[in-house]
Amino acid sequence: METLTQSAPAQAPAHHPNPEHILKIGMGFWASKTVLTAVNLKLFTLLARKPLTGEAIRQTLGLHPRAYLDFLDALVALGFLKREGIGAEGVYANAPDSDFFLDKNKPAYLGGVLEMSNNRLYRFWGDLETGLKTGLPQNEVKDPSVSGNIFDAVYANPEALQEFLQAMSGIQMGAFMALAGKFDFSGYATFCDVGGANGSLSIAVAMNNPSLHCTSFDLPAVEPIAQAHIAKRNLSSRVKTAAGDFFKQALPKSDVIAMGNILHDWGDQEKLTLMRKAYEALPKGGAFICVENIIDNDRSVNAFGLLMSLNMLIETKAGADFTFNDFDRLAHQAGFSRTEWMPLAGPTSAAIAFR
């Protein structure tokens, strides 16, 4: 009689420890500061005009001979630049994404948020541990001489305001363009972007939807900046501005109301207040669109959204990013009948509530 033997279970492949990921993330500030410095130097804007030799770049940007090639070649290795040849006479050019998003003269420029990261956020994030232990902001508001919130501090400084508005529109530009093309605006006549900064979302929506009349709503100090930005795109006849404080007054009546990177600035009670204001300003069938780095419901995939929420700890007194389930809960509390989720660009998506 044949004896049957049970084979041993297959062994799982042995794990070979590899420090690469740990070092890449743990020392990630090296790469980050290299890219932020390149943006601040306007390197990508320079190379958008034409490719240049390393030596020509050094002279134009006023760099010391010692390490400029390490700087440029690190950007090649990181995928931000391309190079033909090597050394001082090697010719450098922008990689495609750098050329599209980091040339200051292109409408898709998102370097504003990188400029702000270099000039403000980089040093504030050095105090993340303090923020985690205290629950308090670690930015300008940390200064005892500054009262109010970060928006009071930034909006009081015209130069800081310009940088902030450019940063806010820049970080969302890809998502704004995606929303303008993906959301079905055909059944609506009016659109209002609440907290519209320099009007970038209204501009994107208007350009993709010629029959739609748009309004960019923000604080009075922002209105002239938005008007100039809109006029530059020759859209003043279809994109208007309105000035006001969205906590102190009713929102403009519109068929569609959007908020881009607004809700995450506030705690749940303020989020709910703003969503109720949007609900009250919409007609039956109207849509409220929240453009944010919506965190996945399992809170384990959208790392950028989770890191952005940590940035809200650094920047605000109660703000936090949120999952789609969080948005759905608040939307129904505000009175909305149903919600949808729409992926946009990268880690950014739209959470949509219908009245």
Any idea which residues carry the catalytic annotation?
264
Strand-pair partners of 292? 349
Tell me the sheet residues that pair with 290: 259, 351
Bridge partners, residue 213, by sequence: 190
d(CA 226, CA 162): 10
Q: By the 8 A CB rule, do 282 and 353 touch?
A: no
**Token output for 15:** 């794990």
Query: Residue 171: which residues within 8 A CB-CB, separation 6 or more?
Result: 110, 112, 113, 261
Please give the Cα distance from 314 to 311 (Å, whole number): 5
Instruction: Report the b/e string of 195-226 with b at 16+ CB within 10 A.
Output: bbbbbbbbbbbbbbbeebbbbbbbeeebbebb
Q: Give the integer Cα–Cα distance in Å for 264 and 292.
A: 8
DSSP 14: P
Beta pairing class for 81-84 and 91-94: antiparallel
DSSP 86: -
Residue 309 neighbours by CB distance under 10 Å: 18
- Residues whose CB falls within 8 Å of the CB of residue 79, separated by 6 or more in sequence, listed in order: 95
Which ranges in 236-339 belong to alpha helices (H)?
268-281, 303-315, 324-334
* Longest pairwise C-alpha distance within the chain: 94
Q: Are 287 and 193 in contact (CB under 8 A)?
A: no
Q: Which residues pair with 259 in a beta bridge?
A: 290
Cβ(164)–Cβ(173) below 8 Å: no
